[in-house]
Amino acid sequence: MSAEHDAEQKAGRKLAVAVAMLLFTSHRLPGVRGYELRRRLGKNYLKIIDMLNRRLNPIGLRVKIVFEGRGDKEHGQEDFDKARFFITLNEPLTLSDIVAAGWRIDEVAILSATLALLYPRGGRATYGEVMELLEAKFPKWRVESALEKFIRRGYLYKDEDNILHIGWRTYAEIDQRELAKAITELHQQKSYKRS
């Protein structure tokens, strides 16, 4: 009985360490790399993350793993070690939740349109192409302000060649399939109304 109790306590301590590592930012970017979790929690850190997910699920949270390659291939131990682990919401926010969180509707539209342009192009496009697309619907100052905000927050990344890329936070927080589905449905609704 004592050995079982000790094992439970040890697992509880490891869960607490995992939560602390995932919630409290110690780097410029939130989240933790897999190798950091392995170093602190041991080689079975993925089992601890799985246990943590089971605890977080009832309150609408989960640990999301963002891999560097971002492909849909099978991932080995080395991929998990390089991946970044985050605590995120289980379900996407509703529009009213997004507004309550401090986002403006036009900012959401600008980010959505930017991502709709970037995803089919392999996650990158020139800053000028993005500006040209967005200036058709929004004032230039609003577009510039929103893009700079998204770059600062990590949703987008601008390299030295003035190319915009999808940022780490987009991969962590935005479901590409859900965004594509929403854009497709919106396009179909507009097509239906025209006919």
151 is in which domain, residue-wise?
96-194
Does the pLDDT value for residue 27 go beyond 70? no
- 71 & 101 share domain: no
Predicted confidence band of residue 117 (pLDDT cuts 50, 70, 90): very high
Number of domains in the chain: 2
Q: Which residue has the tokens 């030295």?
A: 160
Domain with residue 112: its CATH number is: 1.10.10.10
* 4-18, 119-133, 175-189: segment of lowest average pLDDT: 175-189
Q: What is the mean pLDDT of the chain?
A: 85
- 85 & 124 share domain: no
Domain final position from 91, 121, 136: 91
Average pLDDT over residues 154-165: 93
Average pLDDT over residues 37-65: 92
Instruction: Read off the amino acid at residue 76.
Output: G
Report CA-CA distances (Å) from 139 to 14, 86, 133.
51, 35, 11
Q: Which of 50, 45, 167 is nearest to 114 (CA)?
A: 167
More confident residue, 10 or 105: 105
Q: Which of 40, 15, 13, 12 is nearest to 26 (CA)?
A: 40
- 87 & 102 share domain: no
For 118-148, what is each residue's pLDDT tens digit? 988 988 999 999 999 999 999 999 999 999 9
- 114 & 179 share domain: yes
C-beta of residue 30 within 8 angstroms of C-beta of residue 21? no
Domain final position from 91, 122, 150: 91
- 53 & 142 share domain: no
Does the pLDDT value for residue 113 go beyond 80? yes
Average pLDDT over residues 73-98: 81
- 87 & 100 share domain: no
In this prediction, residue 30 carries a pLDDT of 73
- 71 & 135 share domain: no
Provide the token pair at 118: 């970037």
Predicted confidence band of residue 8 (pLDDT cuts 50, 70, 90): confident
- 135 & 70 share domain: no
In this prediction, residue 92 carries a pLDDT of 80
Domain final position from 29, 58, 91: 91
